[in-house]
Amino acid sequence: MAPPLIQLKDIALTFGGTPLLNGVELSVSQGERVCLIGRNGSGKSTLLKIVAGLVEPDKGSRFVQPGATIRYLPQEPDFSGFATTLAYVEAGMGPGDDHYQAQYLLEQLGLTGQEDPSNLSGGEARRTAIAAVLAPSPDILLLDEPTNHLDLTTIEWLEAELASRRCALIIISHDRRFLANLSRATAWLDRGQVRQIDKGFSAFEQWRDDVLAEEERDQHKLDRKIVMEEHWLRYGVSGRRKRNVKRLGNLFALRDQRRDYRGATGQASLAASEADKSGKLIIEAKHIERHYGDRVIVADFSTRIQRGDRIGIVGPNGAGKTTLITMLTGGSPPDSGTIRFGANIEMATLDQHRESLDPKSTLAEALTGGRGDHVMVGDKPRHVVSYMKDFLFAQEQMRTPLEVLSGGERGRLMLARALAKPSNLLILDEPTNDLDLETLDVLEEMLGDYQGTVILISHDRDFLDRVVTSTIAPEGNGVWVEYAGGYSDMLTQRGADLKRDAVKSQEATRSGSAKQASSTSAPKKKLNFNDKHALETLPQTMKALQTEIAKQQRHLDDPNLYAKDRKKFDRVSAALADAQKQLQDAEDKWLELEMRREEIENA
């Protein structure tokens, strides 16, 4: 076996009260890829900081192989003192490193290197920090939630980049697909200790369940043994005195063992408060559009959402996902087109940025609205402590200011607030952010049991595959297409991944209308990104439209359809006409671009 690059032995750390880490052992060898798993608040980030040498434990030893280089990706990088993103990335590189890598990685991640770090968005800050840890090509990479704030295209790029490297990895992430594709070993931090197996995340959940089941059996045996010994104490102490004293001591030891046992943390209990049933139609959008200046965010989009649908909206950051969902839910009217809402709709929303939380207010105030000690869950009052426990908050946290809550705790709080409101339409913008794997499981089950309709934005591929029934994805130039099934089904139907270059295209569009005007007025010497993208994707779009036309035509082939169901006949006829128009437009666009491409190549 290869010697460890880094090794922790008997690590202990206590922040008052129950030890956070107690006797932790962790070993990582050259090229090993370890996912670090644990509940929110279990100490994963703290343990990773100990591995990085940023936190000193109360006791224990840390060994790093001489000469080995370590790079640590924090959840919240500090950009203070750096004028540009390139300067921040280059600051972490040594004299022997290839400084071209800094600029190369920033460009790969959709940045120029000249951005002011103080003005970065969450996604841009995360991409800059990723470039900083990858550029020096370290021996050990420590990644704390690397996919947070990243869109799907960047997550897939990062996944491929990490898979191609030979360095050792320790990854904390809630993204199941990301962990399953990259990890080859699993370290489970549970109740202050680490259990480690030489299998990736794909094997973790079954192994965890087996461990907990065995632990439960052992505790049951211990309980039975204590009962037997207590029975002996009451009725059978008449034997030899020395033997009885020893047995009595053993009973006290068993009781101590039982008292000191820290059971597994319970699961969150998520249940949405459902309002009265809505009508069958929830939302119908016809030919809606939205522009920001010369930039097209949504172009001629139509959809029909019915009761019980679970709609996922995906795409690069900046593609317009939140704009689209805001239009569909009536938050902002489209520039053109119509949106019709069904009857009796009660909507509950989980916003992405947690902006509605006052950091100075307490947990109880956030749940009750500052009114008394009860939460209205649906139309029934529940004591705030009881409701808190459903979302894994302890009674002692009732007066805790929100500003000291972890990201996962804030995520659970927002879910608690959203699910308390009666609804038959749930709007969830990045609901999986900062949630641990167990809470994600419960959230998936809750959405599966929810009788209403769900529209969500997410970058979690596994979550999308498990939850949604159809996926809306951008095709470029403001075109959005709805595909049946989850994220993987969408990729199969498109025949291609979502393009990473869409990020750069959007940023180029934002660079200024003057620049755009000059570029459009000048003679084109080559196809721009949008044209190339359209040329690549239009054949798949036309194929999908042809399939849709054939499907609607099969309905109309029924000679009795008009007499049996006039409404269905009208709906199918309209859908057929719409698909035929879209196909004609797509064919015209493809022919125009193909002729232009030939002219350029022959020039």
464 is a domain residue: no
Decide if 161 contacts 141 (C-beta within 8 A): no
The parts of the chain modelled with pLDDT lower than 50 are: 239-242, 500-525
Strand extents, DSSP E, 265-362: 281-292, 295-306, 310-313, 336-341, 347-350
Say how many C-beta atoms besides its own lie within 10 A of residue 410's C-beta.
18
User: What pLDDT was estimated at residue 178?
Assistant: 94
| Residue 559 within any structural domain of the chain | yes
Number of Cβ atoms within 10 Å of the Cβ of 161: 14
Q: Is residue 202 part of a domain?
A: yes
Determine, yes or no, domain membership for 337. Answer: no
How many domains does the chain contain in total?
2
Of the residues 151, 177, 206, the one at which a domain ends: 206
Look at residue 194 and tell me if it is in a domain: yes
Domain of residue 196, CATH code: 3.40.50.300
d(CA 219, CA 260): 12
User: Is 422 among the domain residues?
Assistant: no
8 Å CB contact between 481 and 313: no
pLDDT of residue 524: 38
Q: Is residue 544 part of a domain?
A: yes
Choosing from 144, 177, 206, the residue where a domain stops is: 206
Q: Which domain covers residue 574, as residue numbers?
A: 523-603
Q: In what side-by-side order are the strands of the sheet with 336-341? A: 295-306, 281-292, 336-341
Q: How far apart are CA 190 and CA 371, in angstroms?
A: 37
Give the domain-ending residue among 176, 206, 236: 206
Contact of 226 with 255, CB cutoff 8 Å: yes
Task: Indicate whether 132 belongs to any domain.
Answer: yes
Helical packing angle, 566-602 and 529-556, nearest 10°: 150
pLDDT for 601 equals 61
Residue of 25, 26, 21 lying closest to 46 (CA atoms): 21
Q: Identify residue 32 by its one-letter amino acid code.
A: E
The pTM for the full model equals 0.69
Give the chain's end-to-end CA distance (angstroms, integer).
61
* Domain CATH number, residue 590: 1.10.287.380
Q: What is the pLDDT of residue 351?
A: 65
Residue-wise pLDDT tens digits, 154-204 = 999 999 999 999 999 999 998 999 999 999 999 999 888 899 999 999 999
User: What tokens does 133 get?
Assistant: 């840890």
pLDDT of residue 519: 38
